[in-house]
Amino acid sequence: MSTVQSMPIDSLAYQRDAFIERFLNFASGTFNMFSIYIGDRLGLYRALAEAGPATSKELAKRTRTHERYIREWLEQQTVAGILEIESENHTAAARRFRLPPGHVEPLIECSSLNYLSPMAQLLVGAVRPLPEVLEAYRKGGGVPFDSYGKDLREGQAAINYPAFWHQLPEEWLPAITDVHARLEADPPARVADIGCGYGWSSMGMARGYPRIRVDGFDLDSPSIKHAKENAKRNKLADRVRFQVRDAGDPSLEGRYDLVTAFECVHDLSNPVRALQTMRRLVKDDGVVLVVDERVGDKFTPKGNDVEWMMYGWSILHCLPVGMVDENAAGTGTVMRADTLKKYATDAGFSSVEVLPIEHFFFRFYRLNP
Ligand SMILES: C[S@@+](CC[C@H](N)C(=O)[O-])C[C@H]1O[C@@H](n2cnc3c(N)ncnc32)[C@H](O)[C@@H]1O
């Protein structure tokens, strides 16, 4: 007998209706995320924040967009509770819309730790190659990082920028006292940052520790191009260098005091090879730091407080990119501590410690050579 048949009619109706309510909330959240993408990419939120409340015509003029679309978007944003309307008693053309002050930081303050708009951009990037993703679900294999395009790269860089620029050098590294001391000391410490993306982690470290030299490596050439431009713009190019390199490249050389990997080990098709590289690059008295997602230690039906999101990224992006090579590990975003420990042991590390640094998304692992 199926579960449905075995349920009393009342419980079935209750369960169905509760699910319908949640289902519609899923749809509403999804529309809102895409609407935030539009507002963010077209500079609509910024224009409202900087030049004040506007009618659809005024906002379209400010942002060089088409009034009819802007009017629809403004009304949608109001119904969604993202924007507010100044007075309901106006004609459509005369209605003025404003950005509530408390919504400014999450929507447009790109250096704030509360900045969240990049999540919408990441989401748009994550669904870009959905046909390829579906094909991978059917046949196996992976979807290359490149297929996810600019929105995913940019969203990834922007969502981590505030934490890498501020918390990494100001809180996280100072909490690892021996690493902090070495980064402050002479001779200048050398740092390798694997899978650095747009390079904000490399540059955040260099900003906080003015003696150190950092080499950032990433397989994705558009990311490295942006990283180099960012280093120049931030006047760090003399101490922070970026190269297009595979994390598993056996010809990667150097002797580093600190080797880092931020939010990338779970994305690698071959994480053990990358960890072997990191082990080879670190000096005997150096430290390898892996920063990855703060997921629970084991699967539970409810997951921990961030797994709803980590599984979301995983089914659309991180698992497909981690399935690209032959014999790919296929880790996914939800890389549990035991999985990383197994990879680290296979790569020759003697032990892995979870560091007592608290962050909503991240867990900090110290891998001992
Ligand atoms: C989720 S992003 C993280 C980027 C950056 N560390 C951050 O936290 O914002 C993962 C990065 O790993 C890079 N990557 C994937 N496979 C790689 C490989 N085999 N070697 C080097 N980088 C790789 C991707 O290009 C991407 O930039």
| Residues making up the chain, counted from first to last | 369
Q: Which of 225, 227, 245 is nearest to 236 (CA)?
A: 227
Residue nearest to atom 10 of ligand 1 (CA): 264
pLDDT surpasses 90 at 324: yes
Position 280 pLDDT exceeds 70 = yes
CB atoms closer than 10 angstroms to residue 72: 11
Residue 277, pLDDT score: 96
- From atom 14 of ligand 1, which residue's Cα is the shortest distance away? 195
CA of 221 to the centre of ligand 1 (A): 11
Regarding predicted confidence, which is higher, 348 or 250?
348
Binned at pLDDT 50, 70 and 90, residue 3 comes out as low
CB 339 within 8 A of CB 314: no
Tokens of 89: 């008693």
User: Alpha-carbon distance 342 to 121, whole Å?
Assistant: 33
Nearest residue to 244 (alpha-carbon basis) of 262, 263, 224: 224
User: Is the C-beta atom of 58 inside 6 A of ligand 1?
Assistant: no
Residue nearest to atom 2 of ligand 1 (CA): 264
pLDDT band at 329; cut points 50, 70, 90: very high
Nearest CA to ligand 1 atom 9: 157
For 198-235, b where at least 16 C-beta lie within 10 A, e where not — what string?
Answer: bbbbbbbbbbbbeebbbbbbbbbebbbebbbebbeebe
pLDDT over 90 percentage in the chain: 93
Distance of CA 73 to the CA centre of its chain: 26
Q: What is the pLDDT of residues 194-220, one digit of tens each?
A: 999 999 999 999 999 999 999 999 999
**CA nearest to 113, candidates 49, 175, 159:** 159
| Buried/exposed 1-26: b ≥16 CB within 10 Å, e otherwise | eeeeeeeeeeeeeeeeeeeeeeeeee
Distance, CA 205 to ligand 1 centroid (Å)? 17
Q: Is the CB of 263 under 6 A from ligand 1?
A: yes
For residue 10, the model assigns a pLDDT of 87
Ligand 1 near 162 CB (within 6 A): no
Q: Which amino acid is at 219?
A: L
Start-to-end CA distance of the chain, whole Å, equals: 56
- pLDDT band at 179; cut points 50, 70, 90: very high
Does the beta carbon of 291 lie inside 6 Å of ligand 1?
Answer: no
Nearest-CA residue for atom 4 of ligand 1 = 197
Q: Which tens digits make up the pLDDT trace of 59-93?
A: 999 999 999 999 999 999 999 999 999 988 889 99
| Residue-level pLDDT at 129 | 98
Our mutation pick for probing the ligand 1 site, out of 203, 267, 325, counting the most ligand atoms within 8 A of Cβ, is 267
By CB neighbour count within 10 A (0-12 exposed, 13-18 middle, 19+ buried), where does 286 fall? buried
Ligand 1 centroid–CA 246 distance in Å is 9
Question: CA of 206: how far to CAs of 106, 172, 225, 338, in Å?
Answer: 26, 14, 18, 31
- pLDDT above 60 (res 2): no
**Nearest alpha carbon to residue 255 among 279, 289, 226:** 279
Contact 273, 327 (CB under 8 A): no
The CA distance from 7 to 291, in Å, is 46
Q: In the predicted model, what is the mean pLDDT of the chain?
A: 96
Cα 218 to middle of ligand 1, angstroms: 6
Q: How many CA atoms lie within 13 A of 361 on its CB side?
A: 16
